[in-house]
Structure 1
């Protein structure tokens, strides 16, 4: 059995593939396979992938029909059927990894009986510079920490720990995975944290590329509003797992921040959204507004938000929505 399967969905990534896959080929750990899934690219991506596969038989290239949905979770589920590794690791077509990442991650997994190993994570920009964000490093920079799956799940809610990790494939439960939304992979990663016995860290770096202006996370898309449905699912998962009131402010403030961000996106892009699309977007918002309960956590949520976010949140608490508050939006734009 191969030790590590690396999953890489590809769509028009010709500008990045040599660098991204090159960082995999350069690994000091040799027992890996890379499964590249080409989503009917219209550039030279498939030719580049085929060329790389001819140079290294650990690279396996597959294709799928592009359905226009950009659903990472669905692509990962497809790649899972072809994978042979004991562990899997996901990276986008424009990300890269340190040469010793797999060696250190597998080493920590085996030495400390870890189900999930989280490397350091830095944002990388088009000019080659990098920056750290919340969750880039383990708490207090301590790579020797080990969390239970439940604790890791809790910390992952607001990305105090990130999800670009080496994960034991036995944690994938097909019956519980969701593939309905463009960001379902965020829900599934949290399921994997929750199912893990032991979660730890390694001191090698994953570089999360921010310089691709065509990435779905950068260009406005109606699909963004599916995050509200995923948020409802995560809220339920969290509520089914934790029952002490001290745990909930972290979750509820994260949920409110998502709602506010998407409300601003909706108001900003309103003129560019067709009437039919607006109906679909409103349905996403109403699903959130109907299902997410803030109850006695309102003051705790407000304390965790920025001053501008508090304006939106207070309006939400009074009126049950803030997506149509154009005056608030004008304040937000002027920040």
Structure 2
């Protein structure tokens, strides 16, 4: 059986594939396969994939019709049908790896028995420069750290650890993985951390590419309001698991941050949305507002917020919503210019 399967959805990514897949063929560890899923690309991505697969039999190609939803979790579910590895590693078409990443990750998994191993992560820019982000390295720089399921869940809520990891297939392909929303992978990854026997860390760098202006994280789309549903689900999961008060405080703070970030999307893009899209967005806001209770966590929720965020959050606590503040937001934006 293959040790590691790399999953890579591809959509109009031909300009990046030589580098991303080249970083796989350059790995010092060789017991891997790549499952690449072409999402009905309109550029020559499929042709590039076929050329690369002809040169390296470890590369498998799948294809699907593009449904316009950009649902990573659903794509992972599709690719699972061809994945043979004991461990799974997910990467986008424009990301790339240092040559020692897989070797270090597999070695660490074998040394510790950990079902998840997290490598270093750097943000990679179009000009070739890199930047650190929160959670780029092992906690406190200690690569001997081993986290329990609840510890890893708590750490990944606010990205104190990132989600690009070597993950055992029993976790990655669990039967109850959610595929409902475009960012359901955010929910699934955090639940995978929760269910893992332990999470370890290793050297070797995952380069998370930031220079693709066409990436779905860079452009507004109405599906981004689905983040509210994912945040609501994660809060419910924490409640079901009876998480400690400090973990719940972190969860509520993160949920409020998601709410406010998505609220800015509504304020800034409402005029470009159809009536049906706007109604759907409001429905998602209402589901969140009715489903999340901040009682007992209001003071801790405000920690780390700027003055504007604090003001909005306090209005939310008083009124149960901030959706009526679009005019105030417009005035605030004009004053900041």
Query: Scaled by the length of structure 1, what TM-score is found?
Result: 0.98
Mapping 1:2-13, distance limit 5 Å: 2-13=2-13
Asked if the contact 1:253/1:305 (under 8 Å) is kept, the reply is no
Q: Helix, strand or coil for the counterpart of 2:86?
A: strand
Q: Return structure 1 stretches of 4+ with deviation > 6 angstroms.
A: none
Residues 1:143 and 2:143 aligned together:
yes
Alignment correspondent of 2:121? 121
> What is the rounded CA distance, in whole Å, between the counterparts of 1:30 and 1:173 in structure 2?
23
Residues 1:108 and 2:97 aligned together:
no
Alignment correspondent of 1:16? 16
Q: Helix, strand or coil for the counterpart of 1:284?
A: helix
Mapping 1:256-267, distance limit 5 Å: 256-267=256-267
> What is the rounded CA distance, in whole Å, between the counterparts of 1:150 and 1:200 in structure 2?
14
User: Gapped runs of 5+ residues in structure 1?
Assistant: none
Distance 1:132 1:67, change over 3 A: same
Mapping 1:1-335, distance limit 5 Å: 1-172=1-172, 174-330=174-330, 333=333, 334-335=335-336
**Deviation larger for 82-91 or 233-242:** 233-242
Distance 1:114 1:282, change over 3 A: same
Q: Helix, strand or coil for the counterpart of 1:2?
A: coil
Asked if the contact 2:80/2:173 (under 8 Å) is kept, the reply is no
Size of the aligned set, in residue pairs, is 335
Q: Helix, strand or coil for the counterpart of 1:188?
A: helix
> What is the rounded CA distance, in whole Å, between the counterparts of 2:131 and 2:291 in structure 1?
36
Q: Helix, strand or coil for the counterpart of 2:324?
A: coil
1:173 shift after superposition: 5.2
**Deviation larger for 173-182 or 252-261:** 173-182
Report the aligned-residue RMSD.
1.1
> What is the rounded CA distance, in whole Å, between the counterparts of 2:246 and 2:188 in structure 1?
24
> What is the rounded CA distance, in whole Å, between the counterparts of 1:262 and 1:189 in structure 2?
21
**Deviation larger for 281-290 or 320-329:** 320-329
Q: Helix, strand or coil for the counterpart of 1:16?
A: helix
CA deviation vs aligned residue, 1:155-184 (integer Å, no higher than 9, x gap): 111111011000011224543110010000
1:122 shift after superposition: 0.7
**Deviation larger for 97-106 or 123-132:** 123-132
Query: Scaled by the length of structure 2, what TM-score is found?
Result: 0.97
